[in-house]
Structure 1
Amino acid sequence: MKTAILIPARYASTRYPGKPLAELTLPDGTRKSLIRLTWEAARKVAGAPEVHVCTDDDRIADAARAFGASVIMTPETCRNGTERCAAAVEVAGLDADVIVNLQGDAPLTPPWFVEALIDAMADGPAVATPVLQCDATTYGHFVEDRKAGRVGGTTAVFRPDRTALYFSKEVIPWLDPAKVDPANIPVFHHVGVYAYTRAALQAYGTLPEGTLERLEGLEQLRFIENGWPVTCVEVEGRGRVFWELNNPGDVSRIESVLHEIEV
């Protein structure tokens, strides 16, 4: 299957305006923007040589072109990353069989997360997304954010057949703190990457926005609320901590991980 990776990026983030251009300090002391680090992560994915940054903002577009990225300009009316990916496919006339949405705030996404997602699409799902069982560190980040009133990462719950039941910015399922086993925490972190067939991506814009999508602010809930199954693909961290840059306070978290891995 021909695969294209699209990186939707917008400047006007509610929680972190200008987030794609936020710079992070690397282990060698140099600094790179969030959008560049995400693009570099996408370029490491085997079997997906086509990578595009999709934006409606000239500042992001200019920065992306400066470090060598292909850019697709999309309408300002796109309300989320999935709508932006659908618009990019139409604007650029992309002919990929599978379109991967790698959101621009996830520079810590290992290539094997995306490769597992692409492999899973060969089994026939219309939409798939990775989930990662929380280790003690990541679960601690979730709990810390909620106690502080911050909206951090997203969790997922799914059926035995791995089709999603729900995604939430709350920590689900709820766990009794006295009974949490640090070695086996039954909470799954939703990794902000999606793979779609062309048909599913084209259909997305025709589906009505549901109440749950609007309340949670999670684009993938539109599929679930309209009866489209979303397959959760469990991936392994292989010792690496995963976290997205959701709030300004996440910069230090991500920088600390970057200092532990090879960039």
Structure 2
Amino acid sequence: MGVLIVIPARFASVRYPGKALVPLTGATGQKKSLIHRSWEAAQAVSGIDRVVVATDDDRIRSAAEGFGADVVMTSSTCRNGTERCAEALEALGGGYDIVLNLQGDAPLTPPWFVEALIDALNAHPVAEMATPVLRCDGRALGGFLDDRRAERVGGTTAVFGAEGKALYFSKEVIPHISNSLWDDTQATPVFHHVGVYAYRPSALAAYARWTPGPLEQLEGLEQLRFLERDHPVQCVEVDARGRQFWELNNPEDVPRIERILRECGMD
């Protein structure tokens, strides 16, 4: 079984242009770009046959090749990372049983999050795609609520049924929490959707043929295209094992991510 990780990255991010090349300082004071740290996160995953950066920008290509990454150039017409992964797989000529999308703004993704998705697809042969969800503690929930109060687009939350089938994903905090006074370490009913996806190649190819639906366009969340087409998304609950997780969505996220890098002792 061949497993491919694609790291989609673009320079023209709507919320944070050029964020793929933003330097992030680690525990020892070493600066590495966001795309470099995301590539290192992918390299830490076991059971992977190949990791590639997929981009349409020569600046990102040059930076990625500079730290030793394989790069696949994709078109500027890709509307999101899933479309870019589909185009990258086609450019590579296929040949993989599972394709993983580790988004270029998620350098704090622990390897076991990604490995859990591979295990989920192996355990459920009929599943077309899977994505991890992480139960928020009070500290993480506080970050979500702070972002919404400040009218910043923060992380994504997910709600799902008893068998893990996704019901909805939103940039709002769902389900509604009437009392935000949670202890930092207390488990909450809110699940943070981690921006990693595992696809069967057939699901990835189908996605690229579909047009975006209204919910995807309103929320700006690519995975909603599957739900709007009645294709189930399997949510896989993962354990952070004490590690804080956050994506880089806004300039305000840089110090937050650098703090987590220091706390985790990551260079």
TM interval, short-chain normalised: over 0.9
- For the residue of structure 2 that corresponds to 1:251, the secondary structure is helix
Deviations 1:5-52 (A, max 9, x none): 000000000110001000001111110000000000000000013100
Deviations 1:183-211 (A, max 9, x none): 22000000000000010000001222110
Contact 1:105 1:246 in 2 (8 A): yes
Change (3 A) 1:220 1:259: same
Match of 1:217 in 2: 220
Counterparts of 1:74-153 in structure 2 under 5 Å? Answer: 74-122=74-122, 123-124=124-125, 125-153=127-155
Counterparts of 1:34-113 in structure 2 under 5 Å? Answer: 34-113=34-113
Deviations 1:47-67 (A, max 9, x none): 013100000000000000000
2: CA distance, partners of 1:178 / 1:40: 35
Contact 2:98 2:200 in 1 (8 A): yes
Match of 1:247 in 2: 250
1: CA distance, partners of 2:142 / 2:72: 37
Contact 1:128 1:196 in 2 (8 A): yes
Structure 2 counterpart of 1:131, one-letter code: V
1: CA distance, partners of 2:181 / 2:51: 44
Contact 1:54 1:84 in 2 (8 A): yes
Tell me whether 203-212 or 170-179 shows the greater mean CA deviation. Answer: 170-179
Provide the aligned length of Structure 1 versus Structure 2. 263
1: CA distance, partners of 2:102 / 2:168: 20
2: CA distance, partners of 1:175 / 1:37: 33
- For the residue of structure 2 that corresponds to 1:259, the secondary structure is helix
Match of 1:261 in 2: 264
Moved over 4 A (4+): 178-182
Structure 1 counterpart of 2:152, one-letter code: R
TM-score (norm 1): 0.98
- CA apart distance, 1:180: 5.0
Contact 1:43 1:49 in 2 (8 A): no
Structure 2 gaps of 5+ residues are none
Match of 2:188 in 1: 185
2: CA distance, partners of 1:231 / 1:108: 22
Match of 2:236 in 1: 233
Identity of matched residues, %: 61
Structure 2 counterpart of 1:177, one-letter code: N
Structure 1 gaps of 5+ residues are none
- For the residue of structure 2 that corresponds to 1:29, the secondary structure is coil
